[in-house]
Structure 1
């Protein structure tokens, strides 16, 4: 189990900066998900770690060994790093066994044993060993790609959006199999993704990468429940933002007087809560009443857009909020409901969120 450290790394393409003085530590045997949108620098970070791209400054340290830094450069094949690409990158002319065993430093007589061991590790039957990639499903191909990356026993496995091309059901099962395989192998892993749910469910820590810098690095429950700022809150899942006035330990807004998580300064703030914190009841039974404006139905749940009746501002506009409810019997547009908030909320200075509106 190898710790990975990224220390003050900057890199760009020509005159265009991509990563700016970033720092990241991944504990040995753990998985960190780097979450960011297109162009945020996710794949560039993996290329720097793998040795495909030289940083302009800073260090990359794998298991206490500097592999990139001032005056130091270790070639990719000598870094002990496995790499799983978005499309798997399997060799079409080789069998599954040939792909997994490719690059193994061991004697060939041991290859078959290692191949069967790895197929079992990634939940694939031994009968697939002699098939070729075009005879496999997309999920099976990604598991073979993972087995190939794990075959030499690397210090680190890099996963470059490996599930994004799969359909929903296959993506979930392949992700679960990958997570089990990494943990069973005791591998340290970095996953880059633009999928918030994938990052939260897969990793021990999530690092939000925006504009070439990390905005927050924390365990999934912390980063979802306690985002460091409104930008992270809005980026990582659905966020409901309403204006309010804060005092010690609480905030008053269109939804009522609510407890606040963390330190609260007095004054005008923006209140952040998640749609699942809003509970719908019969009219008059909640903290405030609201009218259902619209409904987006997803089967297992539904997102309800609501106009809060007590949230009318000075210009006559109503405050709209979103609630996530079970999909069995959601309310109908035009229906009047009661509304309550479960749990504490987060607040941010009003100026920090004005650009999000």
Structure 2
């Protein structure tokens, strides 16, 4: 039985795409449920922008199918032009027309005469968190964050089922990036749009999206909700790519793993025998040396204000593992100094990966 399709859902099946003789995507599958946001996260050259271009219709794939809601827009013998796909597109630089004011930019795709759409323009400005007084300004009179919000308002003007966002926050400074991202998320939710965000920023993907799709060398390594891809990565590469990861040699049985940090419960399916153990730095808790039998020397500290990262040298009694280096994330109000000896304990379970991961 065919699945029930929800209007606005994006479905990509078996997409292979190339530039000249260079293959970029290989047999890619992705389903974005209606009304949700998926972040496609990958490094430079992973194929994330190519995937967005295929969905938007800016690039014809070598093979595969793309569906937008109930309509097939790419498939054998099928090609729907970009302007007929019902998609809103927000570029990295916003792409506003410099010769038009804010109102003209937002109303650009609406029927003539555009002056009749003043009410819709003001509604959209409010939706993206901008004051109505900005309607008559030109793009060069706006901040970078304001320009990106106007670009989003323009993308939402025609009430598209799907909005594609191509690294729209990457050119903004830290404070503007966060506020603009939050405003964009609210606007998309209020509009009920399905969104696909392409980004190389792990924090952005985790905080913005309902699901995160990790793209590596033209294939998806893992597609899951943010807490799952961070807390339960499928392999060591995903673990390291999606934040700081402590990777140690160890030996696993059915329920636990033994490593230089002791015997730790293992979560999820895992191999037994010699494995690679993964913990997040926040799982390694620093305590007074007198309160733990597991001791470490602070090699260095990196202070961020709200928290700090400690590089620690653990010299355990277990000669099978010897001295190991680990990292611990601690709150910024309690940061030991380099050279201090501290105690350690591990909270939560570890992940265990095959040594070939």
Q: Which TM-score band applies after superposition, normalised by the shorter structure?
A: over 0.9
> Cα deviations across residues 304-342 of structure 1 (Å, max 9, x unaligned)?
00011207756x962000000011120111100000011
Q: Which runs of 4+ in 1 moved over 3 A?
A: 105-110, 311-314
TM-score normalised by length of structure 2:
0.96
Q: 2:93 is matched with which residue?
A: 87
For residues 234 and 31 of structure 2, the distance between their equivalents in structure 1, rounded to whole angstroms, comes to 19
Alignment of 1:189-208 (within 5 A): 189-208=195-214
Give, in angstroms, the shift of residue 284 of structure 1: 3.6
1:180-239 alpha-carbon deviations (Å, 9 max, x no partner)? 000000000000000000000000000000000000000000110000111100111110
- CA distances 1:160-198 after superposition (whole Å, capped 9, x unpaired): 000000000110000000000000000000000000000
Unaligned 5+ runs, structure 1:
353-357
Shift of 1:248: 1.9
- Looking at structure 2, the residues matched to 313 and 198 of structure 1 have their Cα atoms a distance apart, in angstroms, of 41
1:52 aligns with 2:84: no
What is the aligned partner in structure 1 of residue 179 from structure 2?
173
Instruction: Please give the per-residue CA displacement for 1:8-62, whole angstroms capped at 9, x wherever unaligned.
Output: 0000001100000000000000000000001111111111001010011000100
Matched, 1:299 2:330: no
Given candidates 2, 21, 25, the residue that maps to 2:27 is: 21
Q: Does 1:11 align with 2:17?
A: yes
RMSD: 1.3
**1:350 equivalent among 331, 351, 355:** 355
Report the Cα offset of residue 109 of structure 1. Answer: 5.3
Moved more, 103-112 or 173-182: 103-112
Tell me what 1:325 maps to: 330
1:212 to 208, 218, 233: 218
Q: 2:288 aligns with which of 278, 282, 289?
A: 282
| Alignment CA distance shift 1:106-1:39 (3 Å) | same
For the 8 Å contact 2:108–2:114, the answer to whether it is kept is: no
Query: Partner of 2:271: helix, strand, or coil?
Result: coil
For the residues of structure 2 that align with 1:268 and 1:191, how far apart are their CA atoms? 38
Which residue number corresponds to residue 355 of structure 1?
none
Alignment of 1:218-233 (within 5 A): 218-233=224-239
* 8 Å CA contact retained: 2:316, 2:322: no
- What is the SS of the residue equivalent to 1:350? coil
Question: Displacement, 1:264?
Answer: 3.8
- Tell me the matched-pair count: 351
Moved more, 293-302 or 200-209: 293-302
CA separation in 2, counterparts of 1:264 and 1:284?
34
Give the Cα separation in 1 of the matches to 2:110 and 2:22.
Answer: 38
Q: Distance in 2 between matches of 1:110 and 1:226?
A: 52
- Are 1:138 and 2:177 matched, yes or no? no
CA distance in 1, matches of 2:223, 2:272: 27
